[in-house]
Amino acid sequence: MPARLRLDTALNNLTTVFRGMTAHPDEHNCECHWGSAEDLAQLKTPDAVLDPDLLHRTWQATDWTYKASVLRRILPQFATALTTGLFEPLFGMAEAGRTFHQAEWQQWPVEQAAAVREFLHAWWAHTLTEPDPVVPAYQVLVLAAEASATLGPWLRTWEAQNHPTADEHLVEAVTNWEYDLRGDQLPWSTWHDEVDMCAELTAWLLRHAPARLRAHGAPEELLHQIRLLGLTGPERWDEDLGAGGVA
């Protein structure tokens, strides 16, 4: 199935699976900081279209008592808004990924969890095929990793997408990530095991990035930065090391 059709199908399936969902009857939030009683009533009204501001305030709020019910209520509209670039979270897409994680979507009923999982995979696969996606590939990866508490499946998909567009996204990602990774820091704030995620991402880049970046014509300096990730201690920061030994 073409990537765009797969994503459209996944979005339509979210609408079907989560039709009629509402926030929990006892859900509440602070009128001073979140919104009015009228706003809350909309979350308890099934399928009412939320204006972008209300949708944004709802998914960003972290103090819901019944987080799963709130996410299920907004999910079809939220997913579409994410894929169309409606939201630009202040702290990157990790923030949106945590909205999924906090709602514990992987513990939902089978049909619901499967719909969310397919949406995340379909969006990721589509992003890797798009020359100019509305959300950069490295940010979609962050959202998916934070939502699922794992990097492996998303990196394996990237590895399998062996074509110039996916390679171009890899160049952009390495450019944004290499400095943090050289300091043994994950390039985004995570609620999961930062040490393991950082080690997994670094090891994956060392295995798969050099050949793909070289074939894509990436600058030699960027290839040099990847090689430095394979070193330890002060050598990682020795910018005078020659680039001739790029792996």
- SS3 readout for 24-84: CCCCCCCCCCCCCHHHHHHHCCCCCCCCHHHHHHHHHCCCCCCHHHHHHHHHHHHHHHHHC
Please tell me the predicted confidence (pLDDT) of residue 235.
77
Please tell me the predicted confidence (pLDDT) of residue 196.
97
Return the SS3 of 228: helix
Q: Which of 48, 124, 44 is nearest to 83 (CA)?
A: 124
Return per-residue pLDDT of the chain as tens, 247 residues. Answer: 799 999 999 999 999 999 999 999 999 999 888 999 999 999 999 999 999 999 999 999 999 999 999 999 999 999 999 999 998 766 679 999 999 999 999 999 999 999 999 999 999 999 999 999 999 999 999 999 999 999 999 999 999 998 999 999 999 999 999 999 999 999 999 999 999 999 999 999 999 999 999 988 999 999 999 999 999 877 777 654 444 443 3
pTM of the model: 0.93
Helix (H) / strand (E) element for 168: namely: helix 164-182
Please tell me the predicted confidence (pLDDT) of residue 92.
79
CA distance 207 to 210: 7
Q: Which residues contact 129 (CB under 8 A, 6 or more apart)?
A: 3, 4, 161, 163, 165, 166
Residues in the chain, how many?
Answer: 247
CA distance 180 to 89: 20
Q: Are the C-beta atoms of 205 and 159 separated by less than 8 Å?
A: no
Return the SS3 of 96: helix
CA distance 158 to 126: 11
Q: Which of 57, 64, 60, 73 is nearest to 23 (CA)?
A: 73
Please tell me the predicted confidence (pLDDT) of residue 89.
64
Please tell me the predicted confidence (pLDDT) of residue 32.
85
Describe the crossing of helices 164-182 and 194-215 by its angle, rounded to 10 degrees: 130
